[in-house]
Chain A
Amino acid sequence: MSKIIGGIATSHIPAIGVAMDKGLENEPYWKDFFAAYPPVRQWLDAQQPDIAIVFYNDHGLEFFLDRKPTFAVGTAAQYLNADEGWGIKPIPPITGETELSWHIVNSLVEDGFDPTVCQEMRVDHGLTVPLSLMYPGHNYQHLQVIPVCINCERHPMPKPSRSFALGEAIGRAVESWSGDKKVVMFGTGGLSHQLDGERAGYINHEFDHYCLDQLVPNPHALTRYSNGDLVKIAGSQGVELAMWLAMRGALPGKLTELHRSYHAPISNTGAGVMLIQND
């Protein structure tokens, strides 16, 4: 009987990875941002999860526009990071997990979801920056990772409510799996930001705090939005709330918010962190 021990939400801005590479964590620009992470690392160290299911979005590394899955699940024994074209140093190989991955895929299809199944996939900063944040020094090889990729790049995208439902289905899959493992859910991306157009640099602090307030007790306050709503309220890339919602959907038990932080701007983004225990 496996156990979902909790969920972690975090931004995955590439500049975070660059700052860690360059050892800038204590610089004035970064100090308050990185100060949010030690409590999350300590919790992970105390809990020692075996498997992390990471909801993230690809930014044109593995998936180009020629074939763009709405939902993709990795079933590989290992995942590689690679050059994204603009200066993030690739991180060492990430350990995969095959048994639960396939169980999730089978369970999702039975549950009415039709994910793209990837026996090989390169993972980009959406997945790797959170791993680097949680395990400084790239000390994550002991952790088995199952990537779940959600399209946030080209409309149409899955509705926020659908991403939440995907998370719920994955939570059910984990609970029905015979393996005896501790599983943690990561939701990466967000919060409000916009990279494109004359509205570039849009950040909505008030909405970001609202998301942090609602996520644990009242996630349906957030799933009621359309992606069009999120583009307006949270910026073009605010649709990355999808991954936070999927993570939250995957937590089935009694939830306790153990830690949160919000810092804006980091790069062009409202950067949020949340740690949720699932009992």
Chain B
Amino acid sequence: MTIPHSPPGTQVFDGPMATQGYALNKLCYSFNEAAGREAFLADESGYCDRFGLSAEQKAALLGRDVLALQALGGSIYYLAKFAGVLGLGVQDVGGLQTGMSTDEFKAMLVDGGNRRFGEYDYE
């Protein structure tokens, strides 16, 4: 079952998203290998074409637009490998997604985490 009501600010990675993002995620999966990372950095555009990314996915990847990449089917687990190639950690990526600097994002975590979209009852 697809998640019926995903929380605001959350892109639930389900079958339709995985279908849309398959080539993009496969490209990022190749970053597990040093050869893939080197080939991408040597020719980013050509590497996107090799994996058959759509024009929108390619533009988002070349533009390091993490939110757009997710909207186009990128899974955060594979986008994290892309971030690694760029020398970014998960907190840098958190900042990019929330419109904060990395330090602001870290401070927000220490301050209790990102609750700006509300909370849900658990009991």
Seen from chain A, the residues whose Cβ lies within 8 Å of a Cβ on chain B are 15, 59-61, 64-66, 82-87, 153-156, 192, 194-207, 210, 225, 227-229, 231-233, 236, 264-265, 267-268, 270
Seen from chain B, the residues whose Cβ lies within 8 Å of a Cβ on chain A are 1-15, 18, 22, 25-26, 28-29, 31-34, 37, 67, 70, 75-81, 83-85, 89-91, 93-94, 97-99, 105, 108-110, 112-117, 119-123
Residue ID in chain A nearest B3 by CB atoms = A228
Q: Is the CB of B93 within 8 A of A195?
A: yes
Whole-angstrom CA separation of A192 from B114 in the bound complex? 11
User: What chain A residues lie within 8 Å of B33 (beta carbons)?
Assistant: 83
User: What chain A residues lie within 8 Å of B67 (beta carbons)?
Assistant: 197-198
Q: Is the CB of A267 within 8 A of B32?
A: no
User: What chain A residues lie within 8 Å of B120 (beta carbons)?
Assistant: 229, 232-233
B23 to chain A, nearest CB (A): 11
Name the one of B9, B13, B84 contacting A198, with C-beta atoms under 8 angstroms.
B9
Q: Is the CB of B98 within 8 A of A198?
A: yes
Q: Is the CB of B77 within 8 A of A59?
A: yes
Given known A-B contacts A64-B26, A201-B94, A155 and B81 have beta carbons under 8 A apart: no
Q: Is the CB of A154 within 8 A of B9?
A: no
Q: Is the CB of B84 within 8 A of A153?
A: no
User: What chain A residues lie within 8 Å of B89 (beta carbons)?
Assistant: 15
User: What chain A residues lie within 8 Å of B77 (beta carbons)?
Assistant: 59-60, 153
Q: Is the CB of A83 within 8 A of B34?
A: yes
B10 to chain A, nearest CB (A): 5
Q: Is the CB of A268 within 8 A of B94?
A: yes
Name the one of B6, B18, B116, B121 contacting A231, with C-beta atoms under 8 angstroms.
B6
